Amino acid sequence: MVRKVSDGMSEFFGWFPSIAYENNTCIFVANFANTCVFETKDGLVVFDVPIRQFGQKTFDEVRKITDKPVKYIIFSHGHFDHAFGYGPFVEEARKKGWDMPEVIAHENCVRRFEKYEILDKYHDWINKQQFSSLIKGGRDSVVYAYETLDPTIILRENESSYSFKLGEVNFEIYHDIGETDDSIWLWVPEKKTLCTGDLLVSSFPNVGNPFKVQRYPKDWAVAMEKMREKNAEYLAPGHGRLIEGKENVRDALSITAEVMHFVHEEVVKRLNEGKWFEQIYHEMLEIYPEKFKKHKILRDTYGSYRFAIHAVYRLYHGWYDSGNPTDLFPSKTVDIAREFLKLNSESKYLEHANKLSFEGKFQLALHFLDIIIKGTDEQNIEVLTDALKLKLKILKEKAKTESAFIATNILENGAQQIKIRLKKLQKSI
């Protein structure tokens, strides 16, 4: 169900050759999301399992290196790409008559799984949009909400850490919130390795995701700083390549902490100055420092600084974000568009949208096209078709230059919907 990713995304949704390090006792496997396996004399500890569709592939990679039984599976968080590909590991234990592995997760991960059951169809709908470029045809479910593996060791809300020892290797687990409220990360001192889950990925952090619930920029920065104190030599991120070398690990954690503090502090400052979202957003775009823009790990590959601004605002502010009472109980956009069309004809708006598009003012052109697309009568096929065609062209153009995966998918989805509508219109002629 998962397509090959474009070149730009391959560093994020990586299918890199597996890496065995520290005398082959640590195995890093990258299949869409990453799995890190630690071998001890008494068995294996598995940090994260991939998306269900890649469970077997990851399992096979691990079994090329070691045949020891899996004693622990740790979920960095309960997202579908980190906690659903457990099947082959559990099946093996069952077949061989081994003890079932302990499954470690945070209490909020259990709540998440309950939420997935309530919102089963909704999450499928959302994920098919967020990951549309990866999902062929969109028929197969990305994840089945009822196929969760119940944690057996649960970090409760009041517990910020949990430690255990296996085969003389210490495993230290910590809870911090960031991308999710169920995040846990792992420090294995004997293996000099930090496993971060999605608290660190090969992209600007996925904070302020347009489709998803609230995320926590400041706490995210704090998590990075706590991780940095461990002075790790290896960092296994949630997505992307293994980071090797103390300096590189420190740099990745430091710059991520720094950018999260930056976006948090600057938005908070503007909230205290009594500014509304639009002003804050555009000011924030202007002051974004070059050192963040240029840093490899903060590229807009998956998440985006633009989304992060929303995350901070939403953390502290309600939905009335314009300060304009017009927006408190707004009319339907269709009705507004119809009124605009009473003042001026569709062709006038189309002419103006074409002019704006020609000048490279694509976003403004879209607003004008929407007046026609929303407001005109279906019978005005000719002008409606022209408006839709121009919108399609602009969305394609914007998608081409957009680097953030989620934004690109939104633009491409929009283009796809227009193509479908255009086909229907042609049929109706």
Taking CB under 5 A as the binding criterion, the range among 56-64, 164-172, 190-198, 318-326 that sits at the site for Zn ion is 190-198
Q: Which is closer to Zn ion, CB of 181 or CB of 233? A: 181
> Which one of 81, 181, 346, 386 is in contact with Zn ion (CB under 5 A)?
81
Q: How far is the CB of 238 from Zn ion (least distance, A)?
A: 5
CB nearer Zn ion, residue 197 or residue 217: 197
User: Least distance in Å: CB of 112 to Zn ion?
Assistant: 13
Residue 326 CB, shortest distance to Zn ion, in Å, is: 39
CB of 130 to Zn ion, least distance (A): 11
Q: Which stretch binds Zn ion (CB under 5 A): 65-73, 74-82, 147-155, 269-277?
A: 74-82
Q: How far is the CB of 81 from Zn ion (least distance, A)?
A: 4
* Member of 48, 61, 181, 198 binding Zn ion (CB under 5 A): 198
Burial (0-12, 13-18, 19+ Cβ within 10 Å), 95 = exposed
Nearer CB in complex with Zn ion: 83/155: 83
Among 33, 135, 145, 207, which residue interacts with Zn ion (rule: CB under 5 A)?
33
Question: Which positions from 221 through 250 interact with Zn ion, judged by CB under 5 A?
Answer: 238
Report the residue number, 39 or 198, with the smaller CB distance to Zn ion.
198
Q: Note whether 412 binds Zn ion by CB under 5 A.
A: no
Q: Closest separation between CB of residue 76 and Zn ion, Å? A: 8
* Nearest distance from C-beta of residue 236 to Zn ion, angstroms: 13
| Among the residue ranges 47-55, 69-77, 78-86, 348-356, the one whose residues contact Zn ion (CB under 5 A) | 78-86
Residues that bind Zn ion (CB under 5 A): 33, 81, 198, 238
